[in-house]
Structure 1
Amino acid sequence: MYGILDGFLQGTALLTAAGVDAAAFTPVASGGLATVASWLPGYARQIDEGAYAAADSTMDTHLAAIDHLVHESESLGVSTEFPRFVKALADRAIADGHGGNGYPALIEQFRKPAGDRP
């Protein structure tokens, strides 16, 4: 729940800094949530099987999009803490050999205790 809410708040902060009202962003965010929710059964299957096929795009591609989010946040003076956290997870996943895998490969980073991270 907090990841979803924090993602919405980060997106809202970014867009309001660019002059877009939160109310105008809400229907777009709601539609995005519905789309992402439709991916969950496939992600769950991949996690249960331990195989993270790049059905939509690779972690390398996702990292490029996350980098863009960090840079846009910086350029608009919005906090980069949340997107940098996501970027750190993606960076570690790629360093662990998951660059060609799909986004569900991040589960491996969430499974590691904080003390086991570089």
Structure 2
Amino acid sequence: MAIPQAIGTAEAVILHSGPRAAFDRYEPVLRSLGAGTTYLGEDHGLSSLYDVAVLGLMWSILNGFLQGAALLGAAGEEATAFAPIARTGIGTVAGWVAGYARQIDDGAYPALDSTIDTHRAAMEHLVHESESLGVSGELPRFVRELAGRAVAEGRGGDGYAAMIEQFRKPVSPR
């Protein structure tokens, strides 16, 4: 999970999986490649799966930023003015991740910050603002649709972490 220029620096995150003995044998060399060297377990495919999971996270964050920048750009605001506010918002949301992870592992989704119904109302507002400013509402409409499915399944009063149930469902390929 590092661009070539990051290899050998504190920024390099390098994930390993497979036989523990092989990792242990070469650990000093592997750690020289990046301060974020992490062993994940015996399953050979686990490091690749983590990498793909982080790519999904990365694109979701970047697409959210781009949606916001487009929305503000339609009102004449510069993306550079939005960037520090976005960074603060991303930090706030990042602070929720550990609690959401616990809820997912426990299979219980208390509404600690707000309910899916409340989130869905805000999603509706984002769709409306996007479309009224001539910005694509496709991404927020998709997220609103997922939340609508959760509400239809009786999850409207649950916390947002309950949305995991929507992501766990396979969708037939198009």
TM category (shorter chain) comes to: over 0.9
What is the CA deviation profile of residues 13-66 of structure 1, one whole-angstrom value per residue up to 9, with x for unaligned ones? 001101111000000000001100000000000000011000011011000000
The answer for the alignment partner of 2:97 in structure 1 is 40
The answer to whether residue 161 in structure 2 is matched with residue 104 in structure 1 is yes
Is the helix fraction higher in 1 or 2?
A: 1
Count how many residue pairs are aligned between Structure 1 and Structure 2: 115
In 2: Cα distance, 1:7 partner to 1:103 partner: 17
User: Paired residue for 1:87?
Assistant: 144
State the percentage of identical aligned residues. 68
Question: Could you tell me which of 10, 17, 22 is aligned with 2:79?
Answer: 22
Q: Give the TM-score of the pair, scaled to structure 1.
A: 0.96
User: 1:65-103, CA deviations, whole angstroms, 9 ceiling, x for partnerless residues?
Assistant: 000000000100000110011001100011111100011
- Consecutive unaligned residues of structure 2, counting only runs of 5 or more, are 1-57
CA distance in 2, matches of 1:25, 1:47: 31
What root-mean-square deviation, in Å, do the aligned CA atoms of Structure 1 and Structure 2 show?
Answer: 0.6
Q: In the alignment, which residue of structure 1 is the partner of 2:49?
A: none
Segments of structure 1 that go 5 or more residues without pairing to the other structure are none
Greater RCO structure (CA 8 Å; 6+ sep) = 1
Matching of residue 75 in structure 1 with residue 140 in structure 2? no
| Cα distance in 1 between the residues matched to 2:144 and 2:138 | 10
